[in-house]
Amino acid sequence: MNFVYFKVDSLPYEKNHQTSFYLKGVELLRDGDIIATPGDIKITALPFFYFCIVPTGFRKIEFRLKNSPPARIVCSVGYLKTGEYLVDTPEGEVILPFNALNGLWTLDRMAQTTIDHRDFLARRFTLIRPVKNTTRNTSVN
């Protein structure tokens, strides 16, 4: 299994965080086959992230929309990248590092405890968003 993301954001030089629009019929594809169907999405703040689990694969992830996003809004899609992510757990929100090379989440850096995607889901964790990179004030993505 792989995590993939669908991201909606403004252009880098235009940081408009307040917005409201719909993207209709969002589909994520790999090799032309639909691998996830988020459907109609209402965007109320930027950046917007949608994450889902898909069967393991290594081909490029693409997206298809039934309508076009507003001007100066860009959409991107791909496999989850190495970095730190805000995760909702039954105990509350935590920041967990993810290693895209081995597909493991680090629960405890000191004890070097890691889990894979199956354990991530079994523990009822939910991916919220990437953690901001403090040196550039931009998302890790």
Distance CA 10, CA 73 (A): 4
pLDDT confidence tier of residue 17, bands split at 50, 70 and 90: low
Distance CA 130, CA 138 (A): 10
pLDDT digit string, tens, across residues 81-139: 999 999 999 999 999 999 999 999 999 878 789 999 999 999 999 999 999 754 444 44
Instruction: Show me where the domains of the chain are located.
Output: 2-78, 83-139
pLDDT digit string, tens, across residues 57-79: 889 999 999 999 988 899 999 99
Would you state the structure tokens that stand for residue 106, as one six-digit string? 């680090």
Return the exposure string of 46-71: e unless at least 16 CB atoms fall within 10 Å of the residue's CB, then b. Answer: bbbbbbebeeeeeeebebeeeeeeee
pLDDT attached to residue 29? 95
pLDDT digit string, tens, across residues 45-59: 889 999 999 988 889
pTM of the model: 0.83
Amino acid at 53: I
Q: Radius of gyration of the chain from Cα atoms?
A: 16
Angle made by CA atoms 12, 98, 89, in degrees to the nearest 5: 100
* 138 or 33, which is more confident: 33
Burial class of residue 120 in the structure, from the number of CB atoms within 10 Å of its CB (0-12 exposed, 13-18 middle, 19+ buried): buried
- Beta-carbon contacts of 86 under 8 Å, excluding residues fewer than 6 positions away, are 93, 94, 95, 128, 129, 130, 131
Span 7-34, mean pLDDT?
Answer: 88
